[in-house]
A and B are shown apart, each in its own frame.
Chain A
């Protein structure tokens, strides 16, 4: 299956700043997703990244806080804007390629201080 490279792997950020997380896939994927995972908890879908158009956000997540780009079929970014300590979490991107099921990037561990 395809491989996703996600970066940064971790970061410590000041409150009020923004962080952009990047995911690069080594082949084209039909769908890309962004998740948040609190330590010891399940994965919560933030949004589906749509190629060439606005992302589709889940309830509780808004574009102003989590702008997403997907300029082509192999790359996507998630920005966590105007961060607060409550945004501290692990952020994961995933991709789906036809019937090949969701595979994940290695995650970004974000700490907001």
Chain B
């Protein structure tokens, strides 16, 4: 089955700086890669996703890149703000199969 590794487990950045979270996956057939943000005590929320037919996707301050050859994908947050502080999870999926989640990254934005 699919295995998703996520790094780092914790990340602290100064407000206004950029944050990068990286994930690798094992199943070369995986073709869908979402990112979720989970604030304390809240449900995970989808923030951005990418499918295997593109290499990069942007949505305002958030971008995701995908390298299918190397089987890794990354989340980039620019101009970080205090409200970006949360736990972020990557995930991978093959077709209509289940999502496999990474272990999570706790991002702290330092004012």
Contacts and interface: CB of A to CB of B under 8 A. Distances in A.
Contacts of B61: none
Nearest to B46: A101
Interface stretch (B13-21, B64-72, B75-83, B95-103): B95-103
Contact of A42 (B32, B34, B46, B89): B89
Nearest to A102: B99
Interface in B40-68: 42-46, 49
Given A42-B89, A43-B44, A106-B43, A101 B49 contact: yes
Contact of B43 (A31, A41, A45, A92): A92
Interface residues of B, number: 16
A55 to B, nearest CB: 12
Interface residues of A, number: 15
A41 B104 contact: yes
Interface of B: 32, 34, 42-46, 49, 89, 96, 98-99, 101-104
Contact of A102 (B34, B42, B96, B104): B34
A104 B43 contact: yes
A68 to B, nearest CB: 14
Interface of A: 31, 33, 41-43, 45, 48, 92, 101-107
Given A42-B104, A43-B101, A102-B34, 18 more contacts: A33-B98, A33-B99, A42-B89, A42-B101, A42-B102, A42-B103, A43-B89, A48-B98, A92-B44, A101-B32, A101-B46, A102-B99, A103-B46, A104-B43, A104-B44, A105-B43, A106-B42, A106-B43
